[in-house]
Amino acid sequence: MEDYVVGGHILNGDDFELITGYVYVEGGTIVEIEERSNIKSDNCAASGIVMPSLINAHTHLGDSIIKDVPFSGLDTLVKPPHGLKHRALRDAAFGVLVEAMHKSLLDALVTGTTLLADFREGGIFGVNALKTAMDPVKKVQVMILGRPNDGRDYIVEDEIDTILDVAYGLGVSGSRDFSSAAIGAMINRARTRGKFVAIHAGEQDNSDIDSAISLNPDCLIHMTYASKHQIESGIPIVVCPRSNLVTGVGSAFRHPPIGEMLQATTVGLGTDNVMLNSLNMFAEMEFVSKAFLHDDLKVLEMATLNNAKILGVDNDLGSIAVGKHASLLIINHQSNNLFGTENIVNSVVRRARPDDIVLLTNGG
Ligand SMILES: [Zn+2]
């Protein structure tokens, strides 16, 4: 892996403190951050705004096979086993699924994302399709969160083991989509093997949240209608506000209650189903800042360091620090879009677009 230097306005460390200088990368690792009063771009592989690459903590890449879905409500679109998504996935040939997911991974890269956590439907078939789609796209990593085939009220232990052999963990569609015995068994299996467990909860009301919390997952997805008490369980939460708007369950400023969540636990950000939204995390950040938080630094943390913490990889990813993996995004602060920017964090969160990216590194 070639060594290189990038420089400019660096959002440095876990508090994203703005400094000017260089970031030195050797063998794919950040080895030095040097502060300078000004930098020479001739010395750099790229220069501009230097920030950690984006992490997308909740996706469903499989439904990349469907685009332009109607505004027809959550259950019609995604509820297992008969929602639009599940019908399309059941009918999809392996090659079709692979090609659509492969295109989405390339899109994640051009929109600045190097790590995704994906809820992978379709049992081992779905997991293998994603593995095949990932193979040629070396620069992006996917944490596969598999699940047994949807629509069954029992689990096949061999199937769970085969999924867990290749997956980062389990992505459970909801605490009521299987019998409590079946969910308990699959989660026990994952825990025994030291695997990650995530579960959708509280997407359209709060009736499945307590049962999801009782399973003690590593993170809860959505929590659109979580009460203060439920938020205070302290389990990390990944919100997907653009998705909530498309499925008709969210509302700007109120649902999900992101501000309250941030006071109680670690809150991350995801784009959810590809059929509902693009994988563009810049769009997600802009939306969350303008419609919910009015706090750009907190939104940037959600899309980088918080997501890394929730996924258990913040020792290596999520911020710019010596010893961490060099997953870096260099943004052109002189682009037509960003020209004249004075508040770097504000510009990155509320204004920057994928076409402002000069370079994306993931190690090399
Ligand atoms: Zn989801």
Find the 336 Cα to ligand 1 centroid distance in Å. 35
Residue 153: which pLDDT band, with cuts at 50, 70 and 90?
low
Helices (H) and strands (E) in the chain — how many of each? 14, 15
What's the rounded mean pLDDT across residues 125-140? 94
Query: CA 188 to CA 185: how far, in whole Å?
Result: 5
Find the 244 Cα to ligand 1 centroid distance in Å. 10
Find the 199 Cα to ligand 1 centroid distance in Å. 9
Find the 59 Cα to ligand 1 centroid distance in Å. 6
pTM, whole model, 2 decimals?
A: 0.96
Find the 272 Cα to ligand 1 centroid distance in Å. 5
- Beta strand 357-360 with 113-120 is unpaired
Q: 142 pLDDT exceeds 80?
A: yes
User: Are the CB atoms for 285 and 55 separated by under 8 Å?
Assistant: no
Find the 201 Cα to ligand 1 centroid distance in Å. 9
What's the rounded mean pLDDT across residues 122-151? 91
Find the 283 Cα to ligand 1 centroid distance in Å. 17
Find the 245 Cα to ligand 1 centroid distance in Å. 13
Residues lining ligand 1 (ion), CB within 5 A?
A: 272
User: Are the CB atoms for 330 and 47 separated by under 8 Å?
Assistant: yes
Picking from 7, 3, 5, the residue whose alpha carbon sits closest to that of residue 333 is 7
Q: 1 pLDDT exceeds 70?
A: no
Structural domains in the chain plus CATH codes: 4-53+319-360 (2.30.40.10), 54-310 (3.20.20.140)
Find the 168 Cα to ligand 1 centroid distance in Å. 16
Per the model's pLDDT, the better-predicted residue between 364 and 261 turns out to be 261
User: Are the CB atoms for 211 and 241 separated by under 8 Å?
Assistant: no
Beta bridge partners of 170: 146, 197
Find the 84 Cα to ligand 1 centroid distance in Å. 14
User: Are the CB atoms for 335 and 356 separated by under 8 Å?
Assistant: yes
pLDDT at res. 351? 97
Beta bridge partners of 56: 116
33-61 pLDDT per residue, tens: 999 999 999 989 999 999 999 999 999 99
Starting at the earlier edge strand, list the strands of the sheet with 328-331.
29-35, 17-26, 4-12, 46-52, 328-331, 357-360
Give the CA distances from residue 221 to residues 25, 88, 89, 186, 225, in Å, rounded to whole numbers and listed in that order: 34, 23, 21, 18, 11
Find the 172 Cα to ligand 1 centroid distance in Å. 9
